[in-house]
Structure 1
């Protein structure tokens, strides 16, 4: 716990914890300790006395020992205090999904909101609908074998996301999977993409002050060093992340060429494709009680071939027609 917090931040923390209901010094102290702030009861009392003297919106009950405090009924308080339990649930779910996709400076501005959401849920009754929803009723099931995320240096992540957010060139030292020695790059960061547990930076390479080649991606966990440069760039208007991922399918690996895929599959193994098609133009060419025969326009990738091989003998008569010839 920290007892060296800046006095102004400490006062803001205290204000954040006040609500429209009276709360005592011991109750406030317990909540402050939960947030990792260790201050004496006397310090908290002096702080609240000073705040109550300067804020007309704070009501002080002196007929109880110890004194109790709250925001007056008409007071707006701090905006954090207006957060409903439903908003707390939404923020906690958002935090879990976004913590590795937002720059640290943005996450830092959101931290008080996330902390307040966690606090509300911690002290919420276990039978509250919001608490049940968060702890018992929703989850994301892995589609493949779960893997532990690779380690990403926090300093590198900060430099990378800062350069990406501010449209600044990035100087990097990168260890490619197949190279014995690391490479030095200057790149134009274009996008951050999460695939399963790994994160990739989509970039264009800069050489001698000029953009060269097509966009490609670098795995964040293979960066050995990164520094956001002082040089800014105009974000390229011709780069479309959705197209890079879906149409070019760069994250599928392999050839990444468009094909018309035709195959037969057993009824049990193929039924889910009638509900979740491979592509918008998928059609069923044959169907009986034992099998389906599908045709769909897809991108040929390593992921597609691994997916097909995973069915073993349940898939047969496989045909691939290249559409870019």
Structure 2
């Protein structure tokens, strides 16, 4: 393949889908980063030539011109969408639809539609796979809070480009919304919420910003400042997402009923979990976990199926919670 053809393909990949656009100036800068120094005039001629065969559109009211692909464009560039890829898009749609706002999903709709058409055309049994799968989330299935599409686009672009961003945000304990500048480190989807992990200028510590509490966002063309030792997986495993009661980990020893809690053998509570069979009806586990509110909720819910052997203070705390709940239930029946 000629060098010019490769440059064309590289340039096409840089053009976003409408309503996002890119200028010839920005294309020139990015192409130079890829090792293709070319003038803006040449880029303009190339795009005009490519628009004959590709669904490109241009906004000539701005200078320099702003280019984009049509909103519903599907780009038929080899390799074509094959059956496994089509199935992947179909599964991705099933998982993402409950979590993302409609406008965010609209960017992927042409790919989802093409995937669906590909599966319908196939006589292979794999083509009927979407009729044979369903995604069911655990829990009560409450309605997810709506996320502003502009906020989500701003945050994702800031994460991809490692830039700062500003948000109009109101935390639960703030009396009114505030304009804050954020250094984003990562996104965590924890049903039913989406959390932006990062720092806020003027405030200490790593924060968890719930995206549905932000009403506006704007990208800041400045590199973010991130601690060199920050790791998103380590942050999660520390228990930070479970509402920490303390930063000191808890060594947990439980005696569990079979078969009700057998899933703990297949899905350990932590990296260091050790499981020991006691008899045909029970087993014990020892594991180090975060000292979180989630841990307390889980232990309270499983109280009829497991005994807390260690630590004693946590067993007493859960017993107190259960006693309070029982007392409340008794008061309700007396009314």
Question: If the length of structure 1 is used for normalisation, what is the TM-score?
Answer: 0.64
Return the alpha-carbon distance in structure 2 between the equivalents of residues 80 and 116 of structure 1.
14
The alignment status of 1:178 with 2:168, answered yes or no, reads no
- Judging by fraction of residues, say which structure has more strand: 1
| Counterpart position of 1:198 | 193
1:118 counterpart (116, 119, 123): 116
**CA shift for structure 1 position 181:** 1.9
Post-superposition offset of 1:11? 5.8
TM-aligned CA distance change 1:190 to 1:284, over 3 Å: closer
Deviation at 1:195, TM superposition (A): 0.7
2:131 aligned residue (132, 135, 140):
135
- Specify which of 198, 218, 239 is matched with residue 249 of structure 1: 239
Cα displacement string for residues 62-105 of structure 1 (whole angstroms, at most 9, x for unaligned residues)? xxxxxxxxxxxxxxx94257222222112222344467689x89
Distance 1:295 1:236, change over 3 A: closer
**Offset of 1:183 from its aligned partner?**
2.9
Q: 1:305 to 1:105 in 2, by over 3 A?
A: closer
Is 1:240 matched up with 2:234?
no
- Per-residue displacement from partner, 1:28-83 (whole Å, max 9, x unpaired)? xxxxxxx989xxxxxxxxxxxxxxxxxxxxxxxxxxxxxxxxxxxxxxx9425722
- Deviation, structure 1 residue 10: 9.3
Equivalent positions of 1:231-310 (< 5 A) are 231-233=222-224, 235-246=226-237, 248-255=238-245, 256-284=247-275, 287-310=278-301
Secondary structure (helix, strand or coil) at the match of 2:253 reads: strand
TM-score (norm. length: structure 2): 0.63
CA contact (8 A) 1:151 1:221 kept: yes
Residue 150 of structure 1: how far off its partner (Å)? 1.1
Aligned to 1:313, the other structure's residue is in SS state coil
Unaligned runs of 5+ in 2: 1-47, 56-70, 314-335
Unaligned runs of 5+ in 1: 1-6, 14-34, 38-76
**What's the Cα RMSD here?**
3.5
* Alpha-carbon distance in 1 for matches of 2:307, 2:111: 54
Aligned pair count reads 246
